[in-house]
């Protein structure tokens, strides 16, 4: 296995293929642990991990929190209401204060793209990006890749389609970087208003036609559509979006027999996906949640584990 | 009191001439520009190996006073100007309160006379409170000393208001300086719309937000036969639109800023807020078009858009940090490094963009070096190299995109109104 030397996990873009595979392989061994009757491992005993969430996210913070507990770390939860970002203490001051308490690792969710990169320049602690604005969501992409690997074995030549609001999706960006590095072919699909300019330069194909996007795809990853964005400028109505881009039973016949359906959650049932598809045999949506735990254990272990700390000392 | 600038090479941007010559200053005027002037009873400035130019003119700076004195003041901003070789600066009216009544014009002029290192020409607002709704009292503002009008920082989005402004200024000998940006198209934008806005997950400011507004303003100006100066041109399309307008005789001039002919958007990959500016850093082909526009005369002037911000404001999340970069101290060096040393412009051509070019935009008698003209003189070394660090800057703010870079070309001496105000690093107020 490739040796892990990185202090932070800020983006998938900056990782090499070998580094991604190292995380996925480490996650495999942690998944084994989670299947044992005694699920705890002592590897992060004595380490303090801060969960600094400037944006509410029950799913991601719960997953990180449980992952840290399984590794015997001490956890400090600091949920910050997004409204206090502007009014309150600056981000740099917040982390300077945390650092004075000798913490090792900050898992950070922020509504502003680039916030973890800025923080990494101003602190000695390790930063794990748990989602920054519309930029990246590395651990979500890693758990998506892990789930694909568990189901498909390898990435070479695999065709993966991501459907939805690509423009505003950090999940899409992290997945595009990661999957392309691993050798998969990525297609993005959505209304043209939701496809960011020059996205082809990130190595993807673009289509506005859902049928074309899913034909031949091995995996279809559906993104949550957020209605509140740009009030009516991105698409005219939820009804029209669903009519053109919803993954429902009528799409079944256009899919490959063994194609998987993924979704980062939370699901808008009846909008980007129908209940029958979300709960159907192709869906690995709950498996993604389970795998998220193993992947986040792997990330915490690699970033906060022994080797990285001895470097700091 | 006579001062003799000896053994230098004089650059006259009016005729594009370079020649070995001495320059004699008597009182506050240039009394003679010929070789081998006698040294009798003169104080000597030895300019051996140096170029003697007219004092530089910057028609786009933000001095932040009144209202934002933690970022910059008239005193500190003009000190930065002096260090950069500028002897005249036109300051933008987006202060607090904005320059929309003659009292603020007078205040700026008084403060400049008292604390300023160089000449300050206030630019006044087009509209009351810069809101883009009603015309400011332009006649009174001009009478008080405004050199131009501008709502810099925003476009006047209402085309009817803009049309009336173009018509109204025909009574006065001033240009309308337009910040061209369609705010609906650039809404929430952070950086240039393109590959980097996509990969960094930041909202884009598309080139068309600038170009469509330049097109509108040119059409309005042409329709009522007025005068338009376009601020901080940043895109290839803008250069082309202005080139065509000039060709058909529209009274339009424009400026670009040093960062648009030296930097492109890739520098934003690390989310460094010192590179956050509006208009944003664009792409390589835009940079090349800007350079061609400077060469062929489409772009009349280099103006810094010196926009100071405190480090507390810049040390925020990218989206929350303000737009703007300082530029006064480094403008000439960036010009030499990126244009002269790379054979895009000759040294006299660069000097022209810093002197007569901007002076003609404002229709002021500045940027000239000849017998009888005001003794505003900037003396430069075109080959001296230095590395920019924070200590290099003498204004209040340090938000320069060039920190850490090696630049060529330095300001060695500056005469303002006949007085040696800057002498190789030493300031004399
Ligand atoms: Zn402006």
Residues A279, A146 share a domain: yes
Distance CA A212, CA A203 (A): 18
Residues A155, A88 share a domain: no
Position A3 in a domain: no
How far away is chain B from the Cα of A95, in angstroms, using its nearest Cα? Answer: 13
Percent of chain B surpassing pLDDT 90: 97
Position A10 in a domain: no
Distance CA A245, CA A81 (A): 33
**What residues in chain B have their Cβ under 8 A from chain A's Cβ atoms?**
193-195, 197-202, 204, 270-271, 312, 315-320
- Please provide residue A275's backbone torsions phi and psi, each rounded to the nearest 5 degrees: -60, -40
Residue B104 has pLDDT above 80, yes or no: yes
Position A12 in a domain: no
Residue A313 has pLDDT above 60, yes or no: no
Confidence tier at A229 by pLDDT (50, 70, 90) = low
Distance CA B118, CA B111 (A): 11
Contact B271 A118 (CB under 8 A): yes
Query: Cis link prior to B279 (omega < 30° from 0)?
Result: yes
Q: Region B92-115: what's the mean pLDDT?
A: 97
Q: Region A247-265: what's the mean pLDDT?
A: 95
pLDDT reported for residue A89: 73
Position A5 in a domain: no
How far away is chain A from the Cα of B190, in angstroms, using its nearest Cα? Answer: 11
Per the CB < 8 A criterion, the answer to whether B7 and B46 are in contact is yes
Position A278 in a domain: yes
Confidence tier at B363 by pLDDT (50, 70, 90) = very high
User: What CATH number is given to the structural domain containing A147?
Assistant: 3.40.50.1370
For tokens 């423009």, name the residue.
A167
Residues A273, A175 share a domain: yes
Residues A103, A182 share a domain: no
Q: Region B177-182: what's the mean pLDDT?
A: 98
pLDDT reported for residue B31: 95
Distance CA B221, CA B368 (A): 29
pTM of the model: 0.94
| List of chain A residues whose C-beta atoms are within 8 Å of the C-beta of residue B271 | 113-114, 117-118
Encode pLDDT of B125-172 as tens digits: 999 999 999 999 999 999 999 999 999 999 999 999 999 999 999 999
Position A4 in a domain: no
Residue A58 burial class via C-beta count within 10 angstroms: exposed 0-12, middle 13-18, buried 19 and up: exposed
Distance CA B225, CA B220 (A): 8
Q: Is B312 a catalytic residue?
A: no
Domain ranges of chain B: 2-52+374-381+407-427, 55-362
pLDDT reported for residue A32: 85
Residues A116, A149 share a domain: no
Residues A156, A50 share a domain: no
Fold of B55-362: TIM Barrel (3.20.20)
The count of structural domains within chain A is 2
Residues A208, A274 share a domain: yes
Residues A189, A100 share a domain: no
Residue A83 has pLDDT above 50, yes or no: no
Q: Region A44-66: what's the mean pLDDT?
A: 92
Distance CA B192, CA B267 (A): 12
Position A7 in a domain: no
Assigned CATH class of B2-52+374-381+407-427: mainly beta
Confidence tier at A219 by pLDDT (50, 70, 90) = very high
Residue A310 has pLDDT above 60, yes or no: no
Q: Which residue range is the domain that position A228 belongs to?
A: 138-285
Residue A1 has pLDDT above 80, yes or no: no
pLDDT reported for residue A81: 67
Distance CA B178, CA A134 (A): 32
Position A150 in a domain: yes
Percent of chain B surpassing pLDDT 70: 100
Residue A155 has pLDDT above 80, yes or no: yes
Confidence tier at A79 by pLDDT (50, 70, 90) = confident
Residue A76, SS3?
strand
Encode pLDDT of B33-74 as tens digits: 999 998 888 999 999 999 999 999 999 999 999 999 999 999
Ligand 1 centroid to residue B210 C-alpha, Å: 11
Beta-carbon contacts of A274 under 8 Å, excluding residues fewer than 6 positions away, are A246, A247, A248, A249
pLDDT reported for residue A307: 58
Distance CA A74, CA A96 (A): 19
Residue A86 has pLDDT above 60, yes or no: no
Residues A230, A304 share a domain: no
Distances (CA, A) of A94 to A86, A91, A100: 13, 5, 10
pLDDT reported for residue A182: 97
Distance CA B55, CA B169 (A): 28
As a residue count, chain B comes to 429
Listed residue (B324, B338, B335, B326) closest to B378, CA to CA: B335
Q: Which of B115, B305, B313, B320 is catalytic?
A: B305
Encode pLDDT of B76-90 as tens digits: 999 999 999 999 999
């Amino acid at each position: 296995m490739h040796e892990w030397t990185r202090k932070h996990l800020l983006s998938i873009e900056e990782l090499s293929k070998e580094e991604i595979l190292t995380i996925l392989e480490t996650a495999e061994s942690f998944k084994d642990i989670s299947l044992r009757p005694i699920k705890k491992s002592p590897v992060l005993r004595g380490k303090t991990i801060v969960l600094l969430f400037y944006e509410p996210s029950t799913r991601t913070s719960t997953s990180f929190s449980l992952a840290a507990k399984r590794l015997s770390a001490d956890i400090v939860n600091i949920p910050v209401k997004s409204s206090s970002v502007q009014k309150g203490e600056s981000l740099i001051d917040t982390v300077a204060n945390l650092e004075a308490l000798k913490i090792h690792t900050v898992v950070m969710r922020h509504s502003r793209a680039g916030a973890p990169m800025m923080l990494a320049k101003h602190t000695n602690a390790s930063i794990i990006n748990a989602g920054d604005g519309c930029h990246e969501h590395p651990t979500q992409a890693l758990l998506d890749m892990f789930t694909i690997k568990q189901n498909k074995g390898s990435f070479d030549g695999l065709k993966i389609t991501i459907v939805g609001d690509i423009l505003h999706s950090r999940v899409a960006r992290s997945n595009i970087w990661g999957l392309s590095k691993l050798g998969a072919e990525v297609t993005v699909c959505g209304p043209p208003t939701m496809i960011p300019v020059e996205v082809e330069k990130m190595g993807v194909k673009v289509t506005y036609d859902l049928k074309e996007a899913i034909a031949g795809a091995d995996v279809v990853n559906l993104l949550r559509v957020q209605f509140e964005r740009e009030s009516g400028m991105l698409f005219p109505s939820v009804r029209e979006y669903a009519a053109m881009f919803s993954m429902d039973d009528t799409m079944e016949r256009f899919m490959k027999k063994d194609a998987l359906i993924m979704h980062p959650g939370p699901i808008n049932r009846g909008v980007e996906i129908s209940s029958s598809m979300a709960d159907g045999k192709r869906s690995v949506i709950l498996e993604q949640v389970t795998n998220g735990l193993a992947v986040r254990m792997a990330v915490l272990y690699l970033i906060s584990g022994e080797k990285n700390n001895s470097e700091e000392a | 009191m006579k001062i003799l600038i000896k053994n230098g090479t004089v650059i006259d941007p009016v005729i594009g001439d370079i020649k070995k010559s001495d320059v004699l200053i008597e009182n506050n005027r240039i009394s003679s520009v010929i070789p081998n002037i006698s040294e009798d009873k003169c104080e000597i400035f030895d300019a051996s190996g140096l170029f003697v130019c007219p004092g530089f003119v910057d028609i786009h700076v933000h001095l932040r006073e009144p209202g934002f004195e933690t970022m910059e003041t008239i005193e500190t901003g003009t000190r930065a100007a002096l260090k950069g070789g500028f002897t005249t600066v036109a300051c933008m009216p987006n202060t607090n309160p904005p320059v929309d009544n003659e009292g603020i014009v007078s205040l700026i002029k008084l403060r400049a006379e008292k604390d300023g290192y160089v000449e300050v020409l206030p630019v006044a607002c087009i509209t009351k409170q810069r809101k883009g709704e009603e015309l400011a009292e332009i006649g009174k503002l001009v009478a008080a000393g405004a050199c131009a009008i501008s709502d810099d920082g925003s476009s006047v989005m209402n085309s009817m208001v803009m049309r009336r402004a173009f018509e109204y200024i025909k009574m006065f000998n001033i240009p309308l300086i337009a910040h061209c940006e369609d705010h609906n198209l650039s809404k929430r934008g952070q950086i240039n719309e393109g590959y980097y806005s996509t990969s960094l997950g930041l909202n884009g400011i598309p080139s068309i937000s600038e170009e469509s507004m330049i097109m509108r303003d040119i059409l309005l100006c042409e329709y009522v036969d007025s005068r338009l100066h376009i601020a901080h041109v940043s895109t290839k399309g803008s250069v082309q639109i202005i080139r065509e307008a000039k060709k058909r005789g529209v009274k339009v001039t424009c400026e670009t800023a040093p960062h648009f002919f030296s930097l492109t958007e890739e520098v934003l990959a690390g989310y460094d807020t010192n590179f956050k500016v509006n208009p944003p850093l664009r792409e390589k082909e835009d940079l090349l078009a800007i350079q061609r526009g400077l060469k062929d005369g489409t772009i009349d002037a280099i103006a810094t858009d010196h926009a100071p911000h405190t480090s507390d404001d810049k040390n925020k999340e990218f989206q929350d940090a303000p737009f703007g970069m300082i530029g006064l101290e480094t403008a000439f060096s960036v010009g030499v490094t990126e244009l002269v040393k790379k054979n895009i412009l000759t040294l006299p051509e660069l000097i022209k963009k810093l002197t007569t070019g901007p002076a003609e935009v404002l229709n002021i008698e500045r940027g000239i070096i000849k017998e009888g003209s005001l003794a505003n003189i900037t003396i430069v070394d075109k080959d001296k190299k230095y590395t920019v660090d924070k200590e290099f800057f003498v204004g209040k703010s340090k938000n320069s995109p060039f920190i850490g870079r090696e630049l060529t070309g330095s300001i060695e001496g500056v005469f303002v109104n006949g007085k040696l105000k800057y002498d190789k690093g030493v300031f004399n107020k």
